[in-house]
Structure 1
């Protein structure tokens, strides 16, 4: 689009304005869940840092996952709660782009991290004698750093391309944070490249990592079934159950929101799915690992009974 036009400087996040009757219910609910997310994930990070029994690759990666959950919710939920209270929902163009970058950077980092955690469990179950040698501290640091860098790389590309879009007309986003699809719907310029990038990154960062996880768990389950003792099989599977449950929740919510035709996206459905992976999932992750993992439960008991 060429010529003079008025560039949009302020976006209006519609949030939950389509259901004003539940506003007074959502404010305390989201506030409580955000507080639980902060406390739960912070406790996981603190326990892993201070308890030497948790100084293993699995818990090192778990600490990174908790950090991602903390950042993701902090970027989105406080603004959402503030907008529910003020009923305004205004966000500047620059703040919107900054929020978009942080959301994609953290969200896109989680997929390769979950893949790395699956590989870690694969080595622990399928090659336990060489586990400490293979999963060295140096390798774990590189794998975790690679996950963060990969997510940041995807985010940088998405953000730069989104920043180049012309927004010259409507400024109301059918969402409670700045996401790529709602922004695409307000574009005045061609977004073919932007849409193509969404599907390409979804394939490489989503489907490819999901394939690694599936392949790892096929091998893990095969190895577990070879264990003769039922007690041994149960113990082996318990070390993977928490991660597997987190993976299922993560990919279920993201698939429902992003791996579908752009034209089929409805604002109400997008916001419902977004609530799950921005509010519900981050508060569930520490609960899942605490409830299903004996080492974490022991560390929690020691922390509250004796202090770290």
Structure 2
């Protein structure tokens, strides 16, 4: 059996749409040009969410993309950032609220169905207050699938240990794992990939550049990080990052190219979603993807970064 991304013949590079709204500095017309350019460059799958521009990006996609031209990955959740915020955590356990958000998204996207619907931030405890077996979100997603309004269902999250648990339930068709599987945080692969593959789940990865952390190898950039260290970047990870910068320099490959092609090189990763801010970034991401895998020698060198272990009790924090 092949997983859904292979069945769909998804492009290895997917389009993340987080940056395609005015609050990220992107005009409507320019966002449309990015969508059209992505199609022309051979990208056939995109990822979005109600959170992105508070529905703005969903409507943009609905007005710009023909129903059969790209596969749409959408999500439910992040109610606290949207019109449902007055309910607080209750929205995560309210079947009516979850369903109503989906219905609104479907109208904005101008679709008869969603190709893949994910639980957004599935590692948030708010989803599972009723226990997994009775979770409202599972009931809603299962019903939507049975009704033919959703083709496949899955999870989006950043905690690899919970990802392993959820993959092992056999309920989901795909996973979008963000933030903590990349060239610096390689260890997550060993935690949940086997469970995902065993259950024939499509594996997609988001935030390949870790929100800008993996975009430069200059001394100035590293000093800037040291002056404002992200809370999930421990001393050992800083040591990994320092060595990674040197590998980038020694091999004359920029950090963002190295980071993207590291994920492209993984045969078990079906899709890598990158969210360009402009057409130039989109074209560059496509160019790097088309270069294909890194050399075996370089991949072995990168694998050795794991010889610098995480500190005991390292926590994949919600950031």
Could you say which structure has the higher helix fraction?
1
Which TM-score band (shorter chain)? under 0.3
Under a length normalisation based on structure 2, what TM-score does the superposition of the two structures give? 0.26
Could you say which structure has the higher strand fraction?
2
Q: Flag the structure with more relative contact order, 1 or 2, with Cα contacts below 8 A and sequence separation at least 6.
A: 1
